């Protein structure tokens, strides 16, 4: 002879409260997961954007360095021509103005490069906003 016994428990007065609580918990988990994915995507976008801007700043500095070198050489040549009576004072002043502008542009590009590198460090978590 065999005896099989089992216990079944059911709260008749629950009125679906447990099921509703489980549903709410699952909905909260799904919402939290979605917010996490959105935050991760936002961080990834910020890092990629910071990398792009940092590279652009590096390229701008290289271009401005070349422009400054060329302006230095142009000014040197015009100065020699002026000293030999082959250029006017206006040409000399224009060359000096171009040289000064090229060097000012280089300073601005270097400043932007420092800012973009700091922004990249902040985006990857190596620099806090307070350290900026």
Which tens digit of pLDDT belongs to each residue from 34-88?
999 999 999 999 999 999 999 999 999 999 999 999 999 999 999 999 999 999 9
16, part of any domain = no
Q: What is the pTM of this model?
A: 0.73
- Round to whole Å and give the CA distance between 46 and 52: 10
105, part of any domain = yes
32, part of any domain = no
pLDDT for 6: 65
**CB contact burial 43-56 (16+ within 10 A = b; e otherwise):** eeeeeeebeebbee
pLDDT for 15: 59
What's the total number of domains in the chain?
1
On the question of pLDDT at 29 being above 90, the answer is yes
Strands (E), the chain: none
17, part of any domain = no
35, part of any domain = no
Compute the CA torsion angle 46, 47, 48, 54 (nearest 10 deg): 110
91, part of any domain = yes
pLDDT for 70: 99
**Mean pLDDT over the full length of the chain:** 90
Structure tokens at 73: 């050489």
Range of the domain at 69: 50-131
21, part of any domain = no
């Amino acid at each position: 002879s065999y005896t099989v016994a089992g216990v079944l428990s059911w709260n008749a007065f629950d009125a679906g409260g447990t099921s509703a609580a489980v549903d709410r918990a699952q909905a909260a988990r799904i919402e939290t997961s979605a917010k996490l994915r959105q935050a991760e995507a936002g961080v990834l976008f910020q890092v990629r954007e910071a990398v792009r801007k940092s590279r652009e700043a590096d390229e701008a500095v290289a271009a401005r360095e070349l422009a400054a070198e060329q302006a230095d050489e142009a000014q040197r040549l015009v100065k020699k021509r002026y000293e030999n009576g082959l250029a006017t004072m206006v040409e000399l002043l224009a060359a000096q103005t171009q040289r000064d502008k090229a060097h000012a542009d280089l300073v601005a590009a270097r400043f932007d490069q420092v800012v973009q590198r700091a922004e990249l460090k902040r985006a990857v978590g190596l620099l806090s906003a307070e350290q900026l």
